[in-house]
Amino acid sequence: MDRLRTISQLYTDRPRPKAGSVQFSANSFEDDTISQAPSSSSTTTSTSFETTPRMHPSASKASQLIVDVPVAQLRKIKNTEGVGSIARESEHFSNTTTLHGPKRIYNGKRWSIAFWIIVMVSSMILLFAQVTSLINMFFSRPTVSQVSFLLSEGGMVFPRVTVCSFNPIKRTYVESLNSTKDLSDDLLDYLMMFNSDAMTLYGRADGQQLHSGDNLFKQYVQNHTNFTADSFFMDAGFGCNDTFKMCSFGGRRFDCCKYATPVFSDLGKCFTLNVQDSDKPWMKTQSEPGIAAGLQIILDSHIEEQFDSEADGVTPVFSSAFENGFRYYIHSSAELPFLASEGIAVSPDSVVYSALSSSRYILLSSGSWGNCTDSWPANYKYDFPYTAAMCSTVCKAQYFNTTCGCSPSIYNHENLFRDCTPYETYRCMDTKMKVVSNGVVNIEMPSCEECRVECKSQVYHAFNSYGKGLSRGALMWLHKQGQWDILHMKSNFQVVNVFFRDMSYTEYIQMQGMTITELLSDIGGNMGMFMGMSVFTIIEVSLFLSKIGWLAFSRKRRDYMYSKKKNEELHEKELEDVVTGFKLFRTRKIWQ
């Protein structure tokens, strides 16, 4: 630094000929060691390179170095200072950016430039196409399902079993009720339609017969003011002890009716057997797979209580069931059996085996890209647990109440509306819901779109097999247990076996198909593959574009960049002159 500082003093030894020029003095270099004396002392013994006779001609020619900056050149640069600044920023960006392509384009030659421009533009197009596709996929809110097969080490929690008889009323009860002789067969047939589904009723019933039965029903209600269809089915149905003859779980007998609750369904009076109400741990879960570890129920159909005897001349009653025996449903605790589960039928003198497999569904709510819900819609005010099947039933009840002024009994679960008679239901559907299009009759029922599927549900699938005829040994054993008549058992008894076939269940979990982290990761991967870009590259491009925009709109910025460029050029020129002068000094010393 001292040597450079001493050399820089050479510029002050002699006056400059004109502005913008630099002139060196030959005698400024007196020795191998650069003199530290002031410039005034050096001028007393020295002359310029032009007048020194001892110097070589070539050395004399190179001894005087003058750097001139023409005024016309300055004016020309000033007029194009913006372009120069942009070029300067572009050069700096091309040589320093991590983005692939700009450096090859900026420093390329002819065809090389064209080739790399094509490559870079093609890569940008592919990158934008991929990023657009990823963003569109993200905003489409895709979902995927994760399926897991889980083992239940503590055993499988046993579901509820609801049992319904295909014969909804007892003959002896109807006969005692008809002591006044005003409960005719036509009225009894009409009563059997009260708990029918609306669409089934409209498709099977005859309008004139319904009208006649409705008149009989109204007349009977006038004579018996306390009579209602719901109470009739609950009172006329079979009791628990009449239906359940024997129950056992895991080979251990228990009292069926202690854990059975009467419920009303489309088949009239039913009973739901819930072993979870037991205080005995062995009754709540099935600890091992197989028939022996499950539930066994022996049922009595009581064929003698049906209105179908040919000997007594009583007209048979049709209650929409085409067979004798029972239908049972296997369901979770929060569901209505006849709405949420497929029914399994069993006839007298037969055995059915229902091997269960369980599936659990966990879905995404509407706020998490799914379509499920755990709450009732805004205009539904109910306290019981939400299920899609129950919501659909309530939706139909409200629709009928709005359209007809009443609701069919099968939909009026909470008895919030007046029950429609079968004729009222038929008449309303025929006059207010029927639509004829091209000769085809359609009934406009509510779509109930607001009833979305519940977010969490447990479903039981039954694999059924049947055996026909109770064995002689089984009949004898049952006779010893309950003193039941063998002929009666052979004509009326049926055995239901419900069990888990294995100690595992399937879990279906709905998940978001793409998270924001996965979106950014995919975009980053495509940026790296096509353009070699990263977050730092985005910052570099942003800074470059901001600087270019600043130059385009700011005169002050352009002036600053121009002056900065000229100062750097001048500084480089001065350093070059110093180095050149030092080399000349060394050469002179060698020649001496």
Same domain, 156 and 181: yes
Radius of gyration of the chain (CA): 50
> What's the CA gap between 334 and 35, in Å, rounded?
105
Same domain, 556 and 418: no
Instruction: Mean pLDDT check: name the lowest of 155-164, 195-204, 461-470, 560-569.
Output: 560-569
> What's the CA gap between 452 and 146, in Å, rounded?
21
Q: Residue 9: its pLDDT value, please?
A: 43
Same domain, 444 and 579: no
Measured CA distances, 126 to 112, 189, 523 (Å): 21, 74, 12
Same domain, 403 and 415: yes
Same domain, 501 and 520: no
Q: What angle do CA 247, 251, 256 make, to 5 degrees?
A: 15
| pTM exceeds 0.75 | no
> What's the CA gap between 583 and 564, in Å, rounded?
29
Pairing of the two strands 456-468 and 350-362:
antiparallel
Same domain, 340 and 418: yes
Residue 475 has pLDDT above 80, yes or no: yes
Asked if residue 169 lies in contact with residue 317, where contact means CB atoms within 8 angstroms, the answer is: yes
Same domain, 218 and 364: yes
Same domain, 163 and 69: no
Instruction: Mean pLDDT check: name the lowest of 28-32, 272-276, 293-297, 533-537.
Output: 28-32
Mean pLDDT value of segment 21-49: 38
Q: Residue 224: its pLDDT value, please?
A: 86
Same domain, 213 and 281: yes
Q: Residue 106: its pLDDT value, please?
A: 82
Q: Residue 341: its pLDDT value, please?
A: 66
- Looking at 8-45, list the stretches that DSSP marks H as alpha helix, in order from N- to C-terminal side: 39-42
Average pLDDT along the chain: 80
Number of structural domains in the chain: 3
Residue 489's closest CA among 505, 471, 516? Answer: 471
How confident is the model over 395-412, as pLDDT tens digits?
Answer: 999 999 999 999 998 888
Beta bridge partners of 508: 147, 361
**Residue 353's pLDDT band (cuts 50, 70, 90):** very high
Rounded-to-5 percentages of helix, strand, coil across the chain: 45, 20, 35
**Residue 337's pLDDT band (cuts 50, 70, 90):** confident
- Per the structure, the complete domain to which residue 301 belongs is given by 148-511
Residue that is written with structure tokens 């699938």 in the block: 461
Instruction: Report the percentage of the chain scoring pLDDT > 90.
Output: 33
Q: Residue 321: its pLDDT value, please?
A: 55
Q: Domain holding 441: CATH number?
A: 2.60.470.10
Q: Residue 240: its pLDDT value, please?
A: 93
> What's the CA gap between 579 and 481, in Å, rounded?
122
Q: Residue 537: its pLDDT value, please?
A: 86
**Residue 109's pLDDT band (cuts 50, 70, 90):** confident
Same domain, 576 and 503: no
Mean pLDDT value of segment 344-360: 94
Same domain, 219 and 109: no
How confident is the model over 526-546, as pLDDT tens digits?
Answer: 988 888 888 888 888 888 888
Strands (E), 121-265: 143-151, 156-157, 160-165, 244-249, 252-254, 260-265
Compute the half-sphere exposure of residue 428: CA atoms within 13 Å on the CB side of its CA: 20
Residue 76 has pLDDT above 60, yes or no: no
Helices 535-553/81-96 angle, 10° precision: 180
Q: Residue 103: its pLDDT value, please?
A: 84
Q: Residue 205: its pLDDT value, please?
A: 80
Asked if residue 316 lies in contact with residue 294, where contact means CB atoms within 8 angstroms, the answer is: no
> What's the CA gap between 25 and 216, in Å, rounded?
138
Same domain, 564 and 494: no
